[in-house]
Amino acid sequence: MPSNASTLTELLIRERPALLRLVRSILGHDNGAEDVIQSVWFKARGVDSAQQIDNPRAYLYRLAANLATDHGREHTRRTRLLAEHYLWGPDEVLSTEEQVMAQDELQRVLEAASHLPEPTRSMFQLNRLQGLTQAEVAKRHRVSVTTVENHIRSALQRLSWARRGR
């Protein structure tokens, strides 16, 4: 009996064009569709064989849809973070130097966030980078909203030094 990982990988190869169409329709554009399909492949390769999958095709399509939705949320969130009216008032015009400094600050925070311990890192990323509410993060992690709030608070405290560039 083939493993879940090999079954899903073979199915991904066969269904790749249809999965790409699905991902593109969810994203509303082609940007990032290949990245999502690669993420599907990585996730499929890591599926435990002890887990019973009754319908591998449906599992694969659901996985692709979920990852495309997450990718779209993250893209939207990052776009909003970088928009001038989000970081600064609409009347303020930023100099090139200020724009570079803001981009540098964002990159420092994102890099520092990648080194947060789990589950703090994933909760922070879901809430602050992908735009999920704390209740949605709590449901996904099967914890209370208070637990999510505590992890987010901890992440913000740990990341404050990265914003200042220290």
Give the pLDDT score at 127.
87
Task: Please give the domain boundaries of the chain with CATH numbers for all domains.
Answer: 4-76 (1.10.1740), 83-164 (1.10.10.10)
Using pLDDT thresholds of 50, 70 and 90, give the confidence band for residue 156: confident
- The Cα-based distances of 163 to 65, 76, 98, 107 in angstroms read 33, 21, 14, 9
Taking all residues of the chain, what is their mean pLDDT, rounded to a whole number?
83
Q: At 144, phi and psi to the nearest 5?
A: -80, 160
Give the pLDDT score at 164.
66
Using pLDDT thresholds of 50, 70 and 90, give the confidence band for residue 60: very high
Give the pLDDT score at 20.
92
19-57: pLDDT as tens digits: 999 999 988 877 788 999 999 998 888 888 888 888 999
| Amino acid of residue 143 | V
CA–CA distance, 128 with 163 (Å, rounded to integer): 15
**158-162 average pLDDT score:** 78
CA–CA distance, 120 with 100 (Å, rounded to integer): 28
